[in-house]
Structure 1
């Protein structure tokens, strides 16, 4: 199969590595000529160009741009492709993207490979990035069944665990386990630096160790990604934030009223319920 990849960063480049290794011919597109050249040198793609029209002969296209550019990139593509070409994306939010893109291209299939690192750019691309990682496909009732099947097969060839659900279910699920943690983590950092007593703040910074490092990691990441999560998944994120605020209020009340038994029961419950979220055995 001839496969086009627009955006040769971490995700696009890593897709190129693995799909090319599966025997597909990869055509890459990047805004920078230097990125195109480097992608060829690293054998991420077979062909690379800054011209989006170079994808006119491919069978399937992955749009691996930032969320804000996905629909505009699709608009540039549509006049130069055969109607049977499958187009998919890798955005971390699906409802808004699918709503914008489906009317532009009837053979559009929303997708979200949930893998990555903190690194960016073509040099961050790596082999087997998607192995054993979730790959969520988010069709609607209008999505061609055969196109869904082809994307599922490609994702499976990467070694991914494929899940299929509606865009709305996807967005609420990732709001809980991805977008909410970013906002909670950022709020933790903001609350700490809001400490008025400088001596306390300085000592806290000196004492911070693995616990703070783990819980603050995602809140100290790329601000642009956090902003896009809020803008493009507003409904899902607000729902999860409100649920989290309610839970925090309960904890505050337990401590304020010295209801230690209730607090202990909560902590025992959370200890038991954590494993299913991190790959452990599910509990009822």
Structure 2
């Protein structure tokens, strides 16, 4: 990559799992002159430098954003607006601002309100992560083979979309696009609802008598279903509130299916149960192969 397509400076605000992994991958790809890190915690920033996740760290968000081609905001959804206000004084007219969050409608609205014409915002969401969080969890290959959803609007300039797509391809991601509203409905079904179910299942288990003793008998299926309940509670609080409409719709749909199952069990209706399970198995077998690890997004998101 050279000339006008080259990336001179990329600033990453928030150096946890997603932000730290992105910084590390961009440094290792050799196509970005400088990766600048910004984090609210001085200790996190120092550790990011020690691990080689960024080239330098700035304590002031606006200073960190100065001169950047792209600013990636990798903080929880609930903190996004405040971070936008903090970086805004350092943005150039053509600075591309993006995020990595799991909710897009609210984020796009906040960007329009808070940036007030400074920089150009284009939402992004890499479908990659682990249940671990923080600067120590950052991985160089986290985005290799992962989907990254970009959410342009009618106002998004084509060059901005092309440039941000190029950035994510540098770290090994496959880029797809969809509108912010479509994104939020898709993710409510494929990510947000499953996390709510995992949290609820482990809470149900915790309410039983002697959960510690029963835990000895929690086999692979239970552990697989509840693995993502180990995700960051603050992040998922913010996601649930920010995407409440689509998420509540999916919870209602799930409750309806659970009611179907309960009625069949209560009625002793074996035929209905078998039909329910057969349909579910067919749907599960029809899913496309998993591209990457389950999306978790630590710091965002």
Cα deviation per residue 1:197-233 (whole Å; 9 max; x = unaligned)?
x47x676433222121112222344322332221111
Match of 1:47 among 53, 56, 80: 56
Q: Distance in 2 between matches of 1:38 and 1:103?
A: 33
Contact 1:33 1:49 in 2 (8 A): no
Structure-2 residue corresponding to 1:268 = 278
What is the CA deviation profile of residues 1-47 of structure 1, one whole-angstrom value per residue up to 9, with x for unaligned ones? 11111111111111111112232021111223333333233222122
Moved over 6 A (4+): none
Is residue 162 of structure 1 aligned with residue 175 of structure 2?
yes
Distance of 2:201 and 2:42 partners within structure 1: 41
Distance in 2 (CA, whole Å) between partners of 1:69 and 1:161 is: 27
Q: Which residue of 2 aligns with 1:129?
A: 142
| RMSD of equivalent CA atoms | 1.9
C-alpha distance in 1 between matches for 2:263 and 2:83: 50
The SS at the match of 1:274 is: helix
What is the CA–CA distance in structure 2 between the aligned matches of 1:28 and 1:136, rounded to whole Å? 23
| Contact 1:6/1:64, CA 8 A, preserved across alignment | yes
Shift of residue 251 of structure 1? 0.9
The runs of 5 or more residues in structure 1 that have no matched partner are: none
Equivalent position of 1:3 in the other structure:
10
* Map of 1:18 onto structure 2: 25
Cα distance 1:194–1:16, how it changes in 2: closer, same or farther (>3 A)? Answer: closer
Equivalent-residue separation in structure 1 for 2:67 and 2:138 (angstroms): 25
Q: Is residue 265–residue 273 contact of structure 2 (8 Å, CA) maintained in 1? A: yes
CA displacement at 1:138 relative to structure 2: 0.9
What pairs with 1:224-263 in structure 2 (closer than 5 Å)?
Answer: 224-263=234-273
Q: In structure 2, do the counterparts of structure 1 residues 223 and 42 end up closer, same or farther at CA, with 3 Å as the change threshold? A: closer
Please give the per-residue CA displacement for 1:221-272, whole angstroms capped at 9, x wherever unaligned. Answer: 4322332221111011101100000001111122222222222122112112
Q: Could you report, residue by residue, the CA deviation over 1:178-206 in whole angstroms, capped at 9, with x for unpaired residues?
A: 111122122222333444xx47x676433
Matched, 1:96 2:106: yes
Mapped partners of 2:20, 2:168: distance in 1? 15
Bigger Cα displacement from structure 2, 252-261 vs 175-184: 252-261
Q: Distance between the aligned counterparts of 1:65 and 1:220, measured in 2?
A: 18
Match of residue 203, structure 2, among 141, 166, 190: 190
Instruction: Give the count of matched residue pairs.
Output: 277
Please report the TM-score for the alignment, with normalisation by the length of structure 1: 0.90
Instruction: Give the aligned partner of residue 293 of structure 2.
Output: none
**Is contact 2:77–2:239 with CA below 8 Å preserved after alignment?**
no
Deviation at 1:119, TM superposition (A): 2.4
1:209 corresponding residue in structure 2? 219
Whether the aligned pair in 1 keeps the contact of 2:20 and 2:53 (CA below 8 Å) is yes
Structure-1 separation of matches of 2:213 and 2:57:
52
